[in-house]
A and B are shown apart, each in its own frame.
Chain A
Amino acid sequence: MKKLVLVWMLSLSACWSTAQATDESAWAGDLSPIGAAEWNREKARHLLERAGFGGTPEEVDALAALSPQAAVRRLVYFEGAPADTLPPFDHSGIFDEGIDPFPPGRPATTALADKNGEALGIKVKASGNRPQQPIVNQFFYWLRASRLETERVAYWWGNRMVATPRPLQEKMALFWHGHFTSSEEKVRDYRKMLKQVELFQREGMGNFRTLLIAAAQDPAMLAYLDAGVNVKGSPNENFAREIMEMFTMGVGNYTEHDIREAARAFTGWNFVGLEFHADSAKHDDGEKTFFGQTARYDGVGIIDRILAAPATPQYISGKLYKFFVRDDLSPELRAALGSRLRESHYDIAPLLETIFLSKDFYADTSRGSRIKSPVEFVVSTYRKLGQTHLPGAPDFNRVTEALGQHLLFPPTVAGWSYGRSWITPSLLIERGNFALDLAFPDIEFLPEDRYPVYPTGAEIRAVHRRLRAGEDMISATRPVDEKAGDDMMAMSNKVDRAEAFNTRYASYRGWQMAIERVKPIVRDLPRLDLARMVLRKELKTPQAVVDYFAARFLSVPLSDATRQQLAASFEHELGSADVLASGTVLEEPLRVLLHLMLSRPEYQLG
């Protein structure tokens, strides 16, 4: 039945497109491929924006010169794209034996030390004050070091997005990172986070079944969803629920009973070190009734039943469509895309090819209608500026975090909600402030991988200064902002000191130990030469410069009034209407223009 609808839709739209070859207003909802005659620079630009992170006018020209099929295949199958020669992640070497498995918190660590006389590979001191201090120091060391190293992983990944000749690979990895979420906030092991990103890069455009099983057996994922506690006799539903609700089907397609039974099938799934491990002793091998059938399912058996359900291909392809094309998706289009994914036996690339070639993708309502996510916003800005790597300042992680999308730290298991939630009054202002820092570097920049700011930087710095002023540990580790009067003091500020160790000291010492070993991020600034960009194009008038910038950066046209205002302001800054004759004084006025242009509401759309 669904197939019939699809065929009918395709044939119907085929009739339309022959009858009205140039009428693009009816393209929405039409999955038939765009014709060679309809391919142009604007559409190539749109393709690069969505299936990649945008690019320079020269990169757009190169795609526009191909046929639409060849252009799409270049992005989806890398046909004719240069090889990826970017280096793998460069480990700082922060891991010590004994750290893994890392206890869930400081209390669990010291409880372990109480019980075993050692924890994290370090022994309790034989005598003296604070015998557990080295252990608690090590706890904070790993907490801080793993976090800082995770920021380096995010930097490495961000750099790939900026520099890769195969941008869709990274964009798909970004999609899956928001889909199969895990966060360093809970995982607390950069090695697992890195391994998960590498999985998305490797399998993200391959087969969804392969990817789903690998993601469900990924150590970061298993840690994030507490899979280890799901054991025979006491199934934990968290993992089974998220697999169905978030990763495959969405709510409404299964019952609570299905979740309980699926949880039993996943019992025993865990990891050892960085590898998946199915513990048969903890696995419930009994019969489970799932989606109305009874069998001795294991985890993969459940996954295969989920993949066979009609809701699953629709859910996955619908989510991909919303990520790459538009928010509004008709039930017919959703069904058609689902069929496409099912026909390809869950191979993802053919679905992407269909989407990127479709008239629907190039419809008026699709283009310039999508709010760029923070990572897309930052990465595409660098690419459009012709940067060939990710600059060290402004800090990529701090910027994207402030904008609401901190890589490897998604807020919840649902990942990031795309679309309008990316723009609030303060987030819009933050975007403009990033643009200002690009145009005119922030000389007050502090590298937060050395100077502690987050999350308890003020406290760490205070302890540091007090100790070096000769204060004893109790005095040096008092709260930074002690309020008067004990009865008004909040409880969370009262409970602190145990005899066996000092937490605030460990927090400070852990920072010292971490920055000693985590490699620093090179803090180079973006190198812009806007004057050269303009002079090479031989742009003569302020209006021509504004129009060139608009075409280079914006997916939505500026109104005439805005164009004229920007041109007038640029001319005023330049002190001349003759751009070519002002070559040596062009750069600063162009930087102001860049800031204005990138701060505009239009620039938030892609």
Chain B
Amino acid sequence: MITRRDLLKYAAGGLIAGALPLGRAARALAAEEARAGRILVVLELSGGNDGMNTIVPYGDDAYYKLRPTIGIRQKALRPLDDHWGFNPGLLGFERLWKNGELALMHGCGYEQPSFSHFTSMAYWQTATPNSGDEYGWFGRLADALSPSMKPNFLVNIDTAQSLAVKSRVHTPVVFDDPERFQRRVLAQEQGLIEQVQGGSKPNPALDYVNAVSLSAAEASSMVREAWTKYKTPVDYGIASLQLPKVAACINAGLPAQLYYLAFRNNAFDTHVQQPDLHQRLLSYMADAVHGFIRDMERLGQGDRVSVLAFSEFGRRAPENTNRGTDHGTANFMFFAGKGVKGGHYGKPVSLTQLDEGDNLIYTTDFRRVYATAIDGWMKGGCAEQVLKGKFEGFPVFAA
């Protein structure tokens, strides 16, 4: 099989014109180029973002009946049209929307929803509601896109590795602070410190640490160099959500195509005194995503990168008595990027027909949105394999 690298090598050597049958190889190359170029960044809004107070259906009276004290009045909103308005904190999203770079995916959820953060998040991270999987959906996507081990293909910027990136083939590059992602080592220790040896008896835990150790050595120098080289005039806001680190890696030409990030520590779990806090969280999130998209454009990478944001669930339709909301069900997911065809996708949830627990009834299986990311954006052609079932995508991206 001819690999892309081979082709480039031949081309560089001036051999390609005479020596190779061009047709098939060129087509394969074109397909691989399309695939190779694209980058997907997934942002987890942990804690359960309140979708109803994020993209507000101010044109629906039922909304204000469900949210008598924390419902956001029309004049405070940033209107999208005569029915929907952005939470006042979502200036960044409003800017993306006006550029046609933001897709709102309505009513995302799944059958028999769990109200536990950890259970529901595990369902989303493995894409197996009411079941489970040893590997995360993002890890399985990595395995499908590159069935052989490709160093630094899958990146998870967080303090601990997410279940979503657990992969059969790839060792995810997990780091938090690029400046600390560096083994400090004395000259006389070079060559010794990163040597790895198998144990004398079988020990899966040791095998695991050994594998991580090998990946750490290479990844750390790449990431650190990327971070040192990166400077940006773009304002990502107060909490940049690791997105500048992604920008640095992309800027440096890291081979990674899959990045997984989280707005950490269950931040969106707004049971009590929600309005100020929620608006602030949304402003951080939208500022960061908007900044990132602009930064990608600045770096000439705008066409290569899309962001997908989600929460493990939405919140209960009626507010609670503490100016907050409890764990709920259906919710918005978001795509942002230059490649996105901005607009509404999926059927909006009903605010009057709730389930017996006063929850919104989902209209879109969240795996349809994952399928959109996998086949629509990444052109993987492997959504069914990754998601272990057929899920129809949305036309968010050009075919």
A residues sitting closer than 8 Å to B (CB atoms) are 104-105, 107-108, 185, 226, 229, 231, 233-234, 236-238, 241, 245, 251, 256, 259, 364, 368-371, 402, 404, 411-414, 417, 420-430, 432-433, 436, 440, 483-484, 488-493, 495, 556-559, 561-562, 565-566, 569, 572-573, 592, 595-596, 599, 601-602, 604-605
CA gap between A176 and B149 in the complex, in Å: 40
- Say yes or no: A605-B206 contact (C-beta < 8 A), given A483-B234, A492-B238, A493-B238: yes
Query: Given contacts A425-B219, A428-B216, A565-B195, could you give 20 more A-B pairs where the C-beta distance is less than 8 Å?
Result: A107-B276, A229-B320, A229-B322, A369-B203, A369-B204, A369-B205, A411-B266, A421-B160, A424-B174, A425-B173, A425-B216, A426-B180, A429-B180, A436-B185, A488-B234, A491-B237, A491-B286, A493-B287, A559-B198, A595-B189
- Say yes or no: A490-B219 contact (C-beta < 8 A), given A364-B201, A421-B161: no
List CB contacts (< 8 Å) of B362-395 with chain A.
none
List CB contacts (< 8 Å) of B219-243 with chain A.
219-220, 233-239
**Residue B284 lies at the interface, judged by CB distance under 8 Å to chain A:** yes
- Say yes or no: A556-B189 contact (C-beta < 8 A), given A412-B265, A424-B160: no
- Say yes or no: A414-B220 contact (C-beta < 8 A), given A226-B272, A369-B203, A433-B183: no
Q: Determine the interface band of chain B, counting residues with CB < 8 A from chain A.
A: 35 or more
**Residue B159 lies at the interface, judged by CB distance under 8 Å to chain A:** yes
User: Please, which residues of chain B bring their CB within 8 A of the CB of A573?
Assistant: 188
- 24 A–B contact pairs at CB < 8 A? A104-B272, A229-B320, A229-B322, A231-B321, A237-B327, A256-B115, A412-B118, A412-B265, A414-B118, A417-B160, A421-B160, A423-B209, A425-B212, A425-B216, A426-B181, A426-B216, A433-B183, A440-B186, A484-B233, A491-B286, A492-B237, A492-B238, A557-B200, A572-B188
User: Please, which residues of chain A bring their CB within 8 A of the CB of B266?
Assistant: 411-413
B residues sitting closer than 8 Å to A (CB atoms) are 89, 91-92, 114-119, 156, 159-161, 171-177, 180-186, 188-189, 192-193, 195-201, 203-206, 208-210, 212-213, 215-216, 219-220, 233-239, 264-266, 271-273, 276-277, 280, 283-284, 286-288, 290-291, 294, 320-322, 324, 326-327, 357
CA gap between A430 and B175 in the complex, in Å: 10
Report B140 CB to chain A, min CB distance, Å.
18
Nearest residue in A to B266 (C-beta to C-beta)? A412
Nearest residue in A to B240 (C-beta to C-beta)? A490
Is B276 within 8 A of A596, CB to CB? no
Nearest residue in A to B90 (C-beta to C-beta)? A491
Is B189 within 8 A of A596, CB to CB? yes
- Say yes or no: A429-B272 contact (C-beta < 8 A), given A369-B205, A423-B208, A488-B234: no
User: Please, which residues of chain B bring their CB within 8 A of the CB of A241?
Assistant: 115-116, 327
Is B237 within 8 A of A490, CB to CB? yes
Is B160 within 8 A of A489, CB to CB? no
User: Please, which residues of chain A bring their CB within 8 A of the CB of B280?
Assistant: 492
Report B224 CB to chain A, min CB distance, Å.
10
User: Please, which residues of chain A bring their CB within 8 A of the CB of B186?
Assistant: 436, 440, 592, 595
User: Please, which residues of chain B bring their CB within 8 A of the CB of A484?
Assistant: 233
User: Please, which residues of chain B bring their CB within 8 A of the CB of A104?
Assistant: 272-273
3 nearest CB pairs, A to B: A490-B237, A424-B174, A425-B216
Report B199 CB to chain A, min CB distance, Å.
6
CA gap between A491 and B289 in the complex, in Å: 12
Of A245, A432, A561, A604, which is within 8 A of B116 by CB?
A: A245
Is B89 within 8 A of A605, CB to CB? no
User: Please, which residues of chain B bring their CB within 8 A of the CB of A411?
Assistant: 159, 264-266
Report B229 CB to chain A, min CB distance, Å.
19
User: Please, which residues of chain A bring their CB within 8 A of the CB of B117?
Assistant: 412-414
CA gap between A446 and B175 in the complex, in Å: 23
- Say yes or no: A491-B180 contact (C-beta < 8 A), given A229-B322, A423-B209: no
User: Please, which residues of chain B bring their CB within 8 A of the CB of A495?
Assistant: 283
CA gap between A436 and B187 in the complex, in Å: 13
Q: Which of B117, B212, B215, B239 has most A Cβ within 10 Å?
A: B212
Is B206 within 8 A of A556, CB to CB? yes
Is B271 within 8 A of A370, CB to CB? no
Is B238 within 8 A of A430, CB to CB? no
Is B205 within 8 A of A569, CB to CB? no
Is B160 within 8 A of A569, CB to CB? no
Is B291 within 8 A of A490, CB to CB? yes
Report A116 CB to chain B, min CB distance, Å.
18
- Say yes or no: A601-B116 contact (C-beta < 8 A), given A107-B276, A596-B192: no
Report B206 CB to chain A, min CB distance, Å.
6
- Say yes or no: A236-B271 contact (C-beta < 8 A), given A411-B264, A424-B175, A566-B192: yes
Is B235 within 8 A of A490, CB to CB? yes
User: Please, which residues of chain B bring their CB within 8 A of the CB of A233?
Assistant: 321
User: Please, which residues of chain B bring their CB within 8 A of the CB of A245?
Assistant: 116, 118-119
Is A430 within 8 A of B180, CB to CB? yes
User: Please, which residues of chain B bring their CB within 8 A of the CB of A592?
Assistant: 186, 188-189
CA gap between A429 and B159 in the complex, in Å: 13
Is B206 within 8 A of A601, CB to CB? yes
Is A488 within 8 A of B235, CB to CB? yes
